[in-house]
Amino acid sequence: MQSLNISTAALRSVQYALDTTANNLANVDTVGYKKRDVAFSELLADSVGEQPGADTQRTSPPGLRVGSGVKVGLTKLNLAQGSVKVTDVPTDLMIEGEGYFMVGRNINQPGNEKTFLTRNGNFRISPSLTYPGSYNLVTANGDVLLDESGVEITLDSAAAFKIEQDGTISSNDTGGKIPVWRVDNLDQYQQVGANEFEVSAQQRALLATVESPLRQGALETSNVDMTKEMSQLVLIQRAYQFNARAVNISDQMMGIATSLRNR
């Protein structure tokens, strides 16, 4: 039964690793996407069958170590910088270094507004619902880019505009600056899809900006390495096959033991 439990636990963990790798591959072309790496940890182990003290030929510690398999310890975000993709589109922004953009959803609905962090700088122009005649920079799903005070950033017109490296919108009559937010531990935020992490009001109050330069007309590509992910996928598939075979062999052994006992 122990071998069956070990192999079953391994199958569950390997399946999770397979899903994680598949998700990385699915986002290989997602702007600003950060891959996840799976780390395994050992389950409870025990030492049984103590060896006699006169056994001088033994080099390992006394006793037979019996494990219970492995589990997924954590899936850690790989925060390595992605490659530069030059687009020459004025609304495309790239953070060179650490940091995140802050965007808001339902900002005109008090009590329903939500805030998110993202590295995806693939913005577009949209008319402002708060300030008629002005325009916002929004994500593909409509989230509005926010300034340091948590207020939507507005543009005077949808025509050409320039954003300096420090985030200042130089060709905007009303001024404005796009901040870059420092995040010390991204794992404390909930990933909600669309390459965004939800930030509560309490968490937002603790955030601070960082002086990472912005690059207009460029995007940060995903940091997923297709070659490495495909190699990882092959290893995971082999591990799955090995443990599936171990389950099958354990089942056969238990069937043989049961048949011998019934004779």
pLDDT digits (tens, 9 = 90+) for 184-217: 888 889 888 778 999 998 999 899 999 999 999 9
User: Does residue 94 surpass a pLDDT of 80?
Assistant: yes
Tell me if the pTM is above 0.85: no
CB 92 within 8 A of CB 84: no
Q: How far apart are CA 180 and CA 213, in angstroms?
A: 8
Average the pLDDT over 84-110 and give the result.
92
Please compute Rg for the chain using Cα positions.
27
- Return mean pLDDT, the chain: 85
CA dihedral of 170, 171, 176, 182, whole degrees rounded to 10? -50
Cβ-contact 35, 223 below 8 angstroms: yes
The dihedrals phi and psi of 154, each to the nearest 5 degrees, come to -115, 150
Residue count of the chain, please give it: 263
- Interatomic CA distance for residues 87 and 227, integer angstroms: 25
Q: DSSP string spanning 18-47?
A: HHHHHHHHHTTTSTT---EEEEEEE---EE
Which residues, 6+ apart, have CB-to-CB distance to 162 below 8 Å?
A: 90, 169, 170, 171, 216
* CB contact set of 233 (below 8 Å; sequence gap of 6+): 18, 21, 22, 25
pLDDT of 44 strictly over 90: no
Write the pLDDT tens digit of every residue in 220-237.
999 999 999 999 999 999
Assess whether pLDDT exceeds 80 at residue 53. no
C-alpha dihedral sign at 86, 219, 99, 208:
positive
Residue 180 · residue 100 · CB < 8 Å: yes
Residue 185 CA to residue 141 CA, distance in Å, equals 25
CA distance 162 to 146: 17
Instruction: For residues 224 and 21, give the distance between their C-alpha atoms in angstroms, rounded to a whole number.
Output: 10
100, 137, 242 from 154: Cα distances, Å: 19, 8, 57
When pLDDT is averaged across residues 168-193 and rounded to a whole number, the result is 83
CA within 13 Å, CB half, 159: 6
